[in-house]
Structure 1
Amino acid sequence: MKSSRRIAKVAKIDERVLVLGASSGIGRSIANLYAERGARVCVVGRRRDKVDEVAAECRSKGTQGPAKRILGVYADFAHVEDMVRLRTTLETEWQGVDTVIVAAGVSALQPLLAVAGLEASANGSKFTPSQATTKGIQNAVDVSAAATRGNYVGPLVAAVTFIPLLTSTSVSPSILLVSSLAAVIPAPTRTIYASTKVASLLLYQALSIEHPSVNFTMFMPSTVEGDFRASAVDAGPVREADPNKHGLKREDVARRCVEAVDTYEKTVFMPRVMRLGHLLYWLWPTFVEWRARKKYNFTA
């Protein structure tokens, strides 16, 4: 573990942490880690039962004290009124926030033309039917809009809502965006997912230049274990291997996220070797594309 410069400014027990997308996956694990080390944690998600469940977990692990140390808020981070209501809650209960974790998002698992209702031949040169129908094209538009809302609009609303609160109430304002390796290395069957994830990644990279007083961390893991596929905004067969057998462990990813915030890291790849994979794509794209096809069992 690297030494933390930030803890010298914001003690663990004083840190006020907002976790957007805390009801499952990486966000849930991050919320529990912060609670274990004594921070005040606000658990946010769209499913009330899951929010209550995670908030109860955090209370059982966190520092004993007023219930206000752990907050559970049912909200959609792409909904403006929900985020303004959440901001008011943080101002009222904690008088601000120190750390914002943007871990919410949605998945999309199908090739773009498959979303439009087309089945490609083995080499991808012919389709059945031969042309996309109006209904099929509209479905591709609708699915991409849903993915954009979850993977880009939500992070945008979060940034606009909470950057001013962070800068005015914290001595060390920090934001971590949980992005994806797919945002920087293209992969088959991830066209909609990857393109919407890279949009929010570039958004936060640009925001980090516009707001140098805020510590931004962009976190890009490879496939992570869990049920993230359940959030898919498209439909159809899943081609890749089961992430629960081969994916990164959620707890390991969460620990690395917390460490990155503590040590002011800017860009984090997990596993670390993927930083070289990102560079390799520009040096030897055909090799990376071959590896991507193999991982996702894509033959076209």
Structure 2
Amino acid sequence: MSLPALSPYHLSLALTLPGLLLLWRNLRFRFYASRRARKIPHAQERVLILGASSGVGRSVAHVYVKRGAKVCIVGRRRDKLDDVARECRAMARGGAQVLMVKADCADPEEMVSLRERLEEEWQGLDTVIITAGVSALRPMMSNAGVEMDPRHPPKSQATAEGLTHAISVSNAAITGNFTGPLVSALSLIPLLTLTSRSPSILLLSSAAAVIPAPTRALYAATKAASLLLYQALAIEHPQIAFTFFLAGTIEGDFRASAVDKALPPNLTSSGSGSDSSEPTPLVREANPAKHGLKVGWVAQRCAQAVDRGEKNVFTPMYMRFGHLFYWIVPAYVEWRARVKYRYT
């Protein structure tokens, strides 16, 4: 049975509508950015960056101090924070101020102390950028001490010690990727609401939070949890502009923070069903330093997304279609994920 042909009118409408939607989207973002800039000029913006000691957080700090904003950088590693603070002060423009606070986002007492410091120094806050987090790189069974090849049956099963280790690793990922953002939000939402004319929060999440991938089960699960938490908070607090930044692979040493880098000595990697006794490689995909998104570009895009009040930002853009396709043709997306992470 042949499909009915489109009339010239309907064909032109079908070709024109996507362009009109993109035009409307860009005009809306430009209007919001202009309105927020009038409420909070760049030189008056008070910006808190959680997880600023390296990676995207460090580069975001550079972006805002170059604008002349007041920037508070927060991280757990004092030596790294010192380096970032020196860099920021050297490139600061206008009346830019740099405040440095060593704190753990998952520690309630340290977050309350940070909030009190911000109230004392700046009498409030306008923008919160949450880039803190940890990675996890192993297949889940590997964390339980069982190496499995998808092409062969396993030679062993998880022991009680293996399961205990998997729980320990999972708790570390939950603390870094969920508890930290949770405590941060609960600590800062009232302060933002009370003291800013245009409060904004950006959560640096991951495309893995909405597109599953092998060897990223633990990372994806904890990132998805914090993403859904913040999406619900955005509904509960409509006076705050929430931005969810879902990025693909980013260049840098983020994988060094993996909570599952090493197995304890009492767990062996002898459960593989293949002839090889080699342990599971921690990085299977293409070298992030060569193929990942550039950190500086991601930082600029984060600041732009906050300025424009964007809600969901997928980068690269095709990740948005990956999320859509997973619900339409899941088998294809799963196959592509296995290919990317060489889990075949």
Report the TM-score range of the alignment, normalised by the length of the smaller protein: over 0.9
Q: TM-score, normalised by structure 2?
A: 0.84
Larger Rg: 2
Distance 2:123 2:41 in 1: 16
CA RMSD of aligned residues (A): 1.2
Query: 1:137 matched to which residue of 2?
Result: 163
Distance 2:166 2:227 in 1: 22
Correspondence 1:2-151 to 2 at 5 A: 3=30, 4=33, 5-63=35-93, 65=95, 69-123=97-151, 126-128=153-155, 130-151=156-177
Alpha carbons of structure 1 residues 257 and 65: separation in structure 2 relative to 1, 3 Å: closer
Q: Is 1:256 aligned to 2:286, yes or no?
A: no
Query: 1:218 matched to which residue of 2?
Result: 244
| Alignment length (residue pairs) | 295
Query: 1:244 matched to which residue of 2?
Result: 289
Runs ≥4 in structure 1, deviation > 4 angstroms?
A: none
Between the two proteins, what is the percent identity of the paired residues?
61
Match of residue 279, structure 1, among 324, 328, 332: 324
Distance 1:50 1:268 in 2: 28
Query: 1:191 matched to which residue of 2?
Result: 217
Distance 2:94 2:44 in 1: 13
Distance 2:104 2:87 in 1: 21
Distance 2:200 2:74 in 1: 17
Aligned amino acid, residue 154 of structure 2: F
The answer for unaligned runs of 5 or more in structure 1 is none
Secondary structure of 2:293 counterpart:
coil
Shift in Å, 1:64: 5.1
Aligned amino acid, residue 242 of structure 1: N
Secondary structure of 2:61 counterpart:
helix
The answer for unaligned runs of 5 or more in structure 2 is 1-25, 262-279
Shift in Å, 1:123: 2.2
Aligned amino acid, residue 127 of structure 1: P
Report Cα offsets for 1:87-136 as digits up to 9, x if no partner.
01100000011000010000000000011010113425x223x2101111
Shift in Å, 1:273: 1.8
